Every structure is written in C-alpha cells, then in structure tokens.
Amino acid sequence: MKDAVPAFRRALTQAEFFAAGERAWQAYLRTGLSRPANQVFDRIQSRIDARRRELTEKL
C-alpha cells in the first residue's frame, strides 16, 4: 500500500506530461509554428539539473 502514493504521483506526472505534449501538438497543427528540438531538450535538461540540485541540497 505504501507504493500507492508514489505510483499515483508518477501516473499524474505522466498524464500531465502527455497533456502538455498534446497541447503543443494541437498548437502546432493550428499554427504550423514549432520550436527547434535543441531548444526543447535544453529546457528539459535545465529542469532536470535544477531538480537534481534541489535533491542534492536535501542530503
């Protein structure tokens, strides 16, 4: 039962990620405008790095 909360959070995070991707896809279909992949990956990497620093500071 202890695994239920982390599993729920993971599922919620995945659902939010999917929803954001779907919104981006729909916006692209409407406008034809997109962001370069390297810009998207740089933003993701920045978020990962920030989260890693945050978790490291808690140790």
1-58 residue pLDDT tens: 567 788 889 999 999 999 999 999 999 999 999 999 999 999 999 999 999 999 999 8
- pLDDT confidence of residue 58: 84
User: Which residue range(s) make up the domain with 29?
Assistant: 4-57
Q: What is the DSSP string of the chain?
A: -TTHHHHHHHHHHHHHHHHHHHHHHHHHHHH-----HHHHHHHHHHHHHHHHHHHHHT-
Domain count, the chain: 1
- Cα gap 56→50, rounded to integer Å: 10
**Residue 2: predicted pLDDT:** 66
> By the 8 A CB rule, do 28 and 34 touch?
yes
Q: What is the pLDDT of residue 51?
A: 95
